[in-house]
Amino acid sequence: MLAIILVLVGVALAGLLVYGNSTSLQNSSPVRSQIKENTITAIYGLASAYQAYYNANGVAPTAAACSSTALVPTYITEIKYPASGLSCSFGTNATYGNYFCYSGSVSQQAYNAFVDATASFPTSSYILGTTGCAERTTDTAPTTWPATIYLTYWLLGQ
C-alpha cells in the first residue's frame, strides 16, 4: 500500500515538473538571473562613474553622459546595459536631482529580472516605471508583453 502511494506521489510530481509551468521554476531561469546581475552591474557602474566625474570636476556630467565621452573612457570603460534593446539617458529634476534612465521595450522575463534587482538598491533610488523617466514611485507591472519600461536610478536617492 505504501508503494502505491509513493508511486502516485512520484507521478504527480513528475507531472508538475513536465506540465506545471510553475512560477517557481520560471524564477530561477538562467536568463532572468543574468539580466538581474547585468542590471546591478550596469547601474552601480554608471553611478560610480558619475560620482568619479563629479569628484574630479566639481560638477555633474552633461545630459549627454550616456552617449558622449564625458564618462567613457576616463571614468568607465563602456556604458553597460541591463538587457538588449534598452537605451540610456541622463537627466536632472529641479527637486530631486540627477538620474540615469534605461528605457525600451522588454520581455516579461526581463521586467521580472528588474524587479528581482530591486532588493540591491535603496527604495528611493531605483524606480521601475511604465510612463517615463524620472518617475518617483514604482508602477504596477504591464499587462501585455513586450512592454516599454523606464528604469530610473536617482543619483541622490532623495
pLDDT tens digits along 89-142: 999 999 999 999 999 999 999 999 999 999 999 989 999 999 999 999 999 999
Q: Does a structural domain hold residue 80?
A: yes
How many domains does the chain fold into? 1
Please give the grid coordinates belonging to residue 156. 541622490
Do 59 and 92 form a contact (C-beta atoms < 8 A)?
A: no
Q: What is the pTM of this model?
A: 0.79
Q: Does a structural domain hold residue 25?
A: no
| Residues 65-77 pLDDT 10s | 787 788 989 999 9
How far apart (Å, rounded) are the C-alpha atoms in residues 32 and 29? 5
pLDDT score for 14: 52
* Boundaries of domain holding 111: 31-154
- CA 58, chain centre distance (Å): 29
Q: Does a structural domain hold residue 15?
A: no
Which residue did the predictor score with more confidence, 21 or 137?
Answer: 137
| Residues 40-66 pLDDT 10s | 999 999 999 999 999 999 988 887 778
